[in-house]
């Protein structure tokens, strides 16, 4: 059997039970299970507000859109972001006619606070921090910078479902304005496609709900529970169709029950990898602060010749991957090429090893022996 780099595990029978409830009730859209899951997510994370949406990508867009609208940002204003991420993070800035100002990454592959501070100009309005691989990086220092320069802070927590620091969800830290999660098909809490946007204040949460529902000021679920004028609503904005649906929420409710257990398993695999690679001079491990509470969405190594290792692994039917290429290598972001030298360097050398619930101890040992055998 070949070994894939990422592979979600669904608790099929339980998911089908939850989905059946939606179908029997005749409620597959927004509301019902989406509300139930929002409440469970708030309980699990400690976020005060949570709104279930159809992806992290649209959540990042909503976050930037609402912060721009509420704070009177002008086209061309700047948001500082990382070049080592999935392009969603940076597209969210471009959707709003703002400029992506790239800052370099640190040893955790998260934004480096020292370089971030250098990239601030009088047009800087916000920072988007990606908790890369589930790591919290130096988010605490980024928060201090945001306070010092009066910047908004958006946390792209696509990798961070389940990450805690001393039992606290980092997205709930004072100073984070909005946190956006992904429940995309291969993320730690996998559905099909869905996500959550968690603003830290009620007004923005309300706006998010409205903007994600075409700008309509009452949702269908609320209206169906009112009297004769239940059909009446107003439209205050040109909003979007970004809401999540009950089928995805049904799957998410089941997946959430297993999240802690599965993240613990991820950590034990990471520990096996780290122990096996730590003395290999050709391999650089990427450590994590608060490693015992990290969600470890992906496991990467820095190696001298990534292509050769990917090929060697493939000979053994082990499929590694690459997350992610330096975004400034893409045409859309090439204007910033050369501005983040460390990101550029690691981007050529990082390889993602398999990390998921289907790996057996024997799989992990096999991967370790191929990697160590090849990189002696």
* Contacting range for ligand PLP; rule: CB under 6 A; set: 18-26, 84-92, 146-154, 306-314: 84-92
Residue 184 interacts with ligand PLP (CB under 6 A): yes or no: yes
Q: Residue 98 burial (CB < 10 Å; 0-12/13-18/19+)? A: buried
Q: Does 130 bind ligand PLP (CB under 6 A)?
A: yes
- Candidate residues 88, 124, 210, 327; the one interacting with ligand PLP per rule CB under 6 A: 88
**Strand ranges (E), 183-283:** 195-199
> In angstroms, what is the minimal distance from the CB of 21 to ligand PLP?
24
Q: Which one, 35 or 87, has the nearer CB to ligand PLP?
A: 87
**Minimal distance, residue 272 CB to ligand PLP, in Å:** 24
Record the tokens describing residue 74, joined without a space.
């002008």
Joined together, the tokens standing for residue 179 give 């946190």
# residues near ligand PLP by CB under 6 A: 14
Contact between 252 and 244 (Cβ < 8 Å): no
Query: Does 85 help bind ligand PLP (rule: CB under 6 A)?
Result: yes
Give the distance, in angstroms, between the CA of residue 344 and the centroid of all CA atoms in the same chain.
Answer: 21
Paired with 2 in beta bridges are: none
Q: Among residues 86 and 213, whose Cβ is nearest to ligand PLP?
A: 86
How would you label 307-339 residue by residue, b for 16+ Cβ within 10 Å and e otherwise? eebbebbeeeebbbbbbbbbbbeeeebeebeeb
As a whole number of angstroms, the distance between CA 262 and CA 141 comes to: 29
β-pair partners for 199? 178
Q: Which whole-number Å values give the CA distances from 283 to 192, 266, 278, 315, 353, in the listed order?
A: 34, 20, 8, 20, 13
Q: Which is nearer to ligand PLP, 160 or 309 (CB)?
A: 160
Please report where in the chains the tokens 């010749």 appear, as a residue: 305
Residue among 183 and 277 whose Cβ is closer to ligand PLP: 183
Q: Binders of ligand PLP among 136-175, rule CB under 6 A?
A: 156, 158-159
Angular region, 72: left φ>0, alpha ψ -120 to 50, beta rest: left
Q: According to the binding rule CB under 6 A, does residue 84 interact with ligand PLP?
A: no
Q: Is 182 in the site for ligand PLP (CB under 6 A)?
A: yes
Nearer to ligand PLP, 57 or 163 (CB): 57
Please give the helix or strand (H or E) that residue 100 lies within, else none. strand 99-102
The distance of closest approach from Cβ of residue 53 to ligand PLP in the complex, given in angstroms and rounded to an integer, is: 9
For residue 143, the minimal CB distance to ligand PLP (Å) is: 19
Measured from the CB of residue 183, what is the shortest distance to ligand PLP in angstroms? 7
Using CB under 6 A as the criterion, which residues of the chain lie in contact with ligand PLP when the complex forms?
Answer: 55-57, 85-86, 88-89, 130, 156, 158-159, 182, 184, 195
């Amino acid at each position: 059997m070949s070994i894939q780099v990422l592979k979600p595990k669904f608790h099929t029978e339980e998911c089908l039970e939850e989905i059946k409830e939606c179908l029997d009730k005749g409620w597959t859209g927004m509301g019902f299970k989406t509300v139930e899951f929002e409440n469970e997510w708030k309980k699990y994370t400690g976020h005060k507000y949570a709104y279930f949406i159809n992806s992290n990508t649209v959540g990042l867009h909503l976050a930037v859109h609402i912060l721009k609208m509420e704070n009177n940002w002008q086209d061309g204003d700047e948001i500082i972001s990382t070049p080592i991420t999935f392009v969603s993070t940076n597209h969210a800035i471009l959707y709003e006619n703002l400029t992506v100002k790239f800052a370099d990454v640190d040893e955790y592959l998260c934004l480096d606070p020292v370089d971030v501070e250098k990239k601030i100009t009088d047009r800087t309005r916000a920072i988007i921090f990606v908790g890369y691989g589930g790591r919290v990086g130096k988010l605490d220092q980024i928060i201090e910078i945001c306070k010092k320069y009066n910047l908004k802070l958006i946390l792209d927590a696509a990798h961070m479902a389940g990450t805690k620091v001393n039992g606290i969800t980092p997205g709930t830290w004072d100073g984070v304005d909005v946190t956006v999660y992904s429940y995309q098909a291969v993320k730690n809490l996998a559905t099909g496609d869905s996500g959550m946007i968690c603003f830290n204040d009620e007004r923005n949460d309300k706006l998010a709900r409205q903007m994600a529902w075409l700008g309509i000021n009452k949702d269908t679920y609320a209206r169906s529970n009112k009297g004769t004028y239940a059909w009446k609503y107003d439209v205050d904005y040109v909003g979007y169709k970004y809401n999540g649906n009950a089928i995805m929420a049904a799957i998410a409710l089941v997946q959430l029950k297993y999240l802690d257990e599965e993240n613990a398993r991820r950590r034990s695999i990471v520990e096996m990898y780290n122990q096996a690679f730590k003395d290999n001079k050709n391999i650089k491990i990427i450590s994590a602060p608060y490693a015992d509470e990290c969600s470890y969405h992906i496991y990467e190594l820095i190696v001298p010749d990534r292509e050769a290792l990917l090929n060697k692994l493939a000979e053994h039917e082990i499929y590694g991957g690459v997350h992610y290429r330096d975004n400034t290598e893409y045409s859309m972001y090439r204007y910033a090429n050369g501005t983040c030298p460390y990101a550029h360097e690691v981007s050529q050398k990082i390889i993602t090893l398999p990390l998921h619930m289907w790996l057996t101890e024997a799989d992990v040992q096999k991967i370790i022996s191929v990697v160590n055998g090849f990189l002696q």
